[in-house]
């Protein structure tokens, strides 16, 4: 049996997703699949076949259960005793609300490798409704309508 290789000149499509009232984990798993290219029939693990994904209204995403206050994100400064922690509530109410989605998607991608960094760089997240990628003519994906569990009522 021969191993299939995707062609070297893969066309990367542009997709825009509105994240208003969408559950973060479900959105992140869908976006990670699109970034890697696993939705395509010619998916090849060692070739970048994914799409560019633009997420708008990232500041209006929802977390299920008590994750908004109980979930904790840790990072380390590199100095002794330099562990820092934050919650999704602080991130979404802070200066860069798009980081909540970026963290969720990054942790669903393959671990640190040059290909993973290249695929993750095709994610564009914006807190508001405007984005500067209109020239690429992105296709709108109605993520909310795919499954009733994708949205959370306020």
Give burial (CB, 10 Å; 0-12/13-18/19+) of 17.
buried
Give burial (CB, 10 Å; 0-12/13-18/19+) of 30.
buried
CATH, residue 115:
3.90.1180.10
Q: Which residues contact 131 (CB under 8 A, 6 or more apart)?
A: 16, 54, 56, 124
Q: Which residues contact 124 (CB under 8 A, 6 or more apart)?
A: 52, 53, 54, 55, 131, 133
Number of structural domains, the chain? Answer: 1
With respect to residue 90, please indicate whether it lies within any of the assigned structural domains. no
Query: d(Cα 113, Cα 118) in Å, to the nearest integer?
Result: 9
Write out the chain's pLDDT in tens, 154 residues.
677 776 778 889 999 999 999 999 999 999 999 999 999 988 888 889 999 999 999 999 999 999 999 999 999 999 999 999 999 999 999 999 999 999 999 999 998 899 999 999 999 999 999 999 999 999 999 999 999 999 887 6
Query: d(Cα 109, Cα 129) in Å, to the nearest integer?
Result: 25
With respect to residue 3, please indicate whether it lies within any of the assigned structural domains. no
Q: What is this structure's pTM?
A: 0.90
- pLDDT computed for residue 7 by the predictor: 73
Containing structural domain, residue 39 = 14-64+97-146
DSSP tag of 24: H
With respect to residue 117, please indicate whether it lies within any of the assigned structural domains. yes
């Amino acid at each position: 049996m021969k191993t299939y290789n995707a062609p070297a000149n893969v066309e990367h499509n542009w997709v825009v997703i509105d994240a208003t009232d969408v559950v973060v984990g479900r959105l992140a798993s869908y976006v990670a699949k699109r970034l890697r290219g696993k939705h395509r029939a010619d998916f090849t693990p060692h070739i970048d076949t994914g799409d560019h994904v633009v997420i708008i209204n990232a500041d209006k995403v929802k977390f299920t259960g008590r994750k908004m206050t109980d979930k904790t994100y840790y990072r380390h400064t590199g100095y002794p005793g330099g562990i820092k922690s934050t919650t999704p509530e602080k991130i979404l109410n802070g200066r860069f609300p798009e980081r909540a989605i970026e963290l969720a998607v990054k942790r669903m991608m393959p671990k640190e490798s040059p290909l993973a960094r290249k695929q993750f760089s095709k994610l564009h997240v914006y807190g508001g409704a405007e984005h500067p990628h209109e020239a690429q003519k992105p296709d709108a994906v109605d993520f909310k309508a795919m499954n009733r569990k994708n949205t959370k009522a306020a």
